[in-house]
Amino acid sequence: MSVLNTAQQKAVAELLRVSPVADELGRRFATAGHELHLVGGSVRDALLGSLGDDLDFCTDAHPEQTLAVVNGWADAVWETGREFGTIGIQKNGLRIEITTFRAEAYDGVTRNPVVSYGTSLLEDLSRRDFTINAMAVSVPEHEFTDPFGGLQDLAARVIRTPSAPQVSFGDDPLRMLRAARFAAKLQFTVDPAVVSAMRDMAEDLDRITAERIRDEFTKLMIGADPIAGLRLLVDTGLADRFLPEISGLKLEIDEHAQHKDVYEHTLIVVQNAMRLEGDEGPDFILRMASLMHDIGKPATKAVGRDGRVSFHHHEVVGARLTKQRMKALKYPKDTISEVVGLVALHLRFYGYGRGEWTDSAVRRYVTDAGPLLSRLHKLTRSDVTTRNRRKAAQLAADYDALEERIARIAAEEDLAKVRPDLDGNAIMELLGVPPGPIVGQAWRFLKELRLDRGPLDRDEAEAELFKWAREQGHIS
């Protein structure tokens, strides 16, 4: 989009005109003596042709007045954001948030905003993060309000703040991270004055809670161009406030490719992984694992007598660091476990091409990856960034061979559900033992045996169980 013409400006009003819910809601507020405006990201997305089912409105009505207007009309109402002036409703499949004109800011010390209600639409728009989010359309009148040139910035694909960046970021330091997020999502450039303020005020991000940082960073990572957002975070020093390991990669030279540092290699891996995501859309787990897969290198760097650089066991250290960092950012346990698992396994494949892997090793590869196997395939392939075409082709061929071998063995055995050939009930019956530690030990022994030798018939499994039990002294 190079220019937004009059027809595109009218797109917002047209979208509202064909949406009876918005106009009906506007008339209800007008009848009660209040204003109502579609605002912020909803207007921006409408102009970009991507307005979804979530609509944001602002009003001069206070929350209790908003409740009086929507009660009995909305299909559902929730008040979780009431202390911040927001009432949420659902109507005809649309999720709508209605917020009282705001004049909120941070006090410069605590991590919580000081919320006070504004008195006008202009005041509300002046407090918003960026000009492209500071446009409004009234309902039901459909009057377009753009006091800070958001429409022009949308056409120029640039991110600016309505007020001076220092003032805007002083009100809410999280906006610095949001600038990087929008750069990633919309593929816009960030105004130089905004970038300068981000660099100067990076330390102010420490006033923001880990949960809010996590949410913005996650949105950045699943954006259309997370690389642009990541570069902005590193270049301004914002990454150092919550993910310093990424900036640290700039100092380390990759032993596999002396022509680039690990930081640049990592960004390429993220890009490679994105190309392999498929129709499922952005995969945060895969992208995050790609970003974190080499963060253990700085701590494991060693220079040999021949001058070669090595990073032995950096996947182990990287998995530990990844867990610590994601835990500090309050990610859910399941998300942390999946990303950490991929980081820990990302080097397992190397060496396969030397012909050293047995069927047992393949089974263990599949079993250890478990439900992460598909993502591990993508991460491993993405990690090949060498400019040596012959080497890259050989690695790709090796991994093709591994995937074919996995498929062959899976066709013969149910690799997705590798279990011992005897279950817990059979173990207790054969050994004559009650539920307890011995059953668990026997089960793990049989699981290892299954991985080493593949499926056993019943007689073989029982014989191995009895042999193990005698060696362990559990039976005479």
What does the pLDDT look like over 220-271, one tens digit per residue? 999 999 999 999 999 999 999 999 999 988 864 544 444 458 899 999 999 9
Residues in the chain: 476
pTM: 0.81
Alpha helices in 52-164 (DSSP H): 63-70, 121-126, 150-156
CB 469 within 8 A of CB 475: yes
Tokens 């954006």 belong to: 223
Nearest Cα neighbor of 381 from 269, 258, 282, 256 is 269
Residue 300, SS3 per DSSP: helix
DSSP string, 390-447: HHHHHHHHHHHHHHHHHHHHHHHS-GGG---SS-HHHHHHHHT--SSHHHHHHHHHHH
**Tokens of residue 263, six digits:** 């930081």
Q: Is 110 exposed, middle or buried (0-12, 13-18, 19+ CB in 10 A)?
A: exposed
Measure the CA–CA gap between 392 and 139, rounded to whole angstroms: 58
**Run of H or E residues at 327:** helix 314-328
For residue range 59-76, what is the model confidence (pLDDT) as tens digits?
A: 999 999 999 999 999 999
Measure the CA–CA gap between 18 and 458, rounded to whole angstroms: 69
% of the chain with per-residue pLDDT over 90: 53
CB 187 within 8 A of CB 229: no
Nearest Cα neighbor of 393 from 427, 310, 261, 401 is 401
Q: What is the mean pLDDT of residues 131-145?
A: 92
Torsion, Cα 212 215 216 217, to 10 degrees, reads 120
Backbone φ, ψ for residue 163 (5° rounding): -105, -175
pLDDT of residue 465: 81
pLDDT of residue 413: 60
Output the CA torsion sign for 249, 253, 254, 255: negative
Tokens 């459909």 belong to: 142
Q: 401-407 — which CB contacts under 8 Å span 24+ positions? A: 401/352, 401/353, 402/349, 402/352, 402/357, 402/362, 402/365, 403/377, 405/362, 406/362, 406/365, 406/366, 406/373
**Tokens of residue 340, six digits:** 């950490």
pLDDT surpasses 50 at 1: no
Q: What is the mean pLDDT of residues 31-45?
A: 94
Nearest Cα neighbor of 351 from 295, 303, 399 is 399
pLDDT surpasses 70 at 203: yes
**Per-residue confidence band for 2, with pLDDT thresholds at 50, 70 and 90:** very low
Q: What is the mean pLDDT of residues 316-345?
A: 96
Tokens 């399941």 belong to: 334
SS (H, E, C) 118-132: CCCHHHHHHCCCCHH
pLDDT surpasses 60 at 158: yes
Output the CA torsion sign for 383, 388, 389, 391: negative
DSSP label at 253?
A: B
Q: What is the mean pLDDT of residues 278-298?
A: 93
In the chain, the amino acid numbered 121 is L
